[in-house]
Structure 1
Amino acid sequence: MSTMAVNIKTVEKVGVLHTIASKLSELNFNILYTHLFLKDDHGRIYMEVSGVDDENYLLEKIREIPDVISVKLHKTLKSTFGKRIIVIGDGIRMAETLQAAIMEADIHNRSGECISVDGMIINGGLEIQQAVKSLTKLPRVEAVVLSGSMMGGLITEEILKLKDENKDLIIISLDMIGDLISVVDHVINDTNRAGTMAVKLVSDKNYYNNEILDNKFLRKISR
């Protein structure tokens, strides 16, 4: 059995998503992820469904649901965007970190991997704290890079909550003023190295041995 993704166009009315979910449950399909939005006065539903033996059977059963206008197969978000890295911060340091991560991801993707990089350009401690808080709502995030000149306090508290809820999430910080660097996984003093290392850490290839990774303050290898 495999996971399939579908795009569904529906009549815009109350209860359509519930009807679709109920029908898939009756057929013993499991919904792994869904996203609903409105476009041109119609409902648009992206859905990833597991337990699928026959994609044509899945499409047929969805088409039979009342108020479904059309349904098409789609690549899953994982196969499209792959592993996800989020760079958060502002200013030139954030821009340099983001650029380095994008360039490194491009190298990996050319060799068959699938890694995407997103930048959240945000100014202000409270705003960055809220951005970190929002990360729990984002799928497929495997690494977060905090890039700026000074971070701590509420941001640090939010990072601790994030780490507690996401044990496998890799969190990297530039070496900067504030207590944030005391709680992250890796501290790096060079913007380019921070972006590059984030990609290498989520890569399927083993770039770093345990001795290096056990050294949380990586200043010696970052110069």
Structure 2
Amino acid sequence: MTSGKPYIHVVYEGRSIKVQRIQDRSYELSGHFAKSIQPCPPFCIGPMLPAPGVEVYGEVEMFDFLETDLRDGTGILIDSRTSSWFKKGTIPGAVNIPFTELAKEPTSPEIAELLERFGARERGDIGFFTALMEKWGIVDTKYKTEDWDFTGAKNLVLFCNGPDCGQSPRAIRGLLAAGYPSDKLKYYRGGMRMWEFWGITTVVPDVGE
């Protein structure tokens, strides 16, 4: 995959998946991701940055994330495409949370449930003295909003079908609107298009009927 790293292992659905590039030199990309012509709109090439402060990942950064944050449980890899796309194949280790769920109103109960799933804690009534200390800068509030404490929130990497897919950028903007810290959000811009272009291992999830 890279110099000195021929493969990595990712635990997915209870089994170890060997992630590597296809070694067949005659391999050619086929199917949907081999199509270079898509109508714009809606499939227009998006900007490099989905939102200020959000780091953009390439494949090497993805490999590092899979071997560190994802393995250690401090990060979540989110396939933000609709379930019909997810069922066709995804990156090993990814969970499917469609962008439609992540882009809901920031105060919706669905968003609150997701934030808690990602490790954020609802603050509730913090009390007069705590509020005063935060106002004076005595207490660190870097990862705190009025409603949520994101101190223990996980690093999230979101992806969809590629640079001409607006689903993960919409999901990222939805999370930012809910207060999620930008430095805990990452965007794999290449998405499934570049992952498959490089011939890297994919999996078909066992999602049942």
Global fold match (TM > 0.5)? no
User: What is the TM-score when the length of structure 1 is the normalising length?
Assistant: 0.25
User: What is the TM-score when the length of structure 2 is the normalising length?
Assistant: 0.26
Structure with more of its chain in helix, by fraction: 1
| Larger Rg, first or second structure (1 or 2) | 1
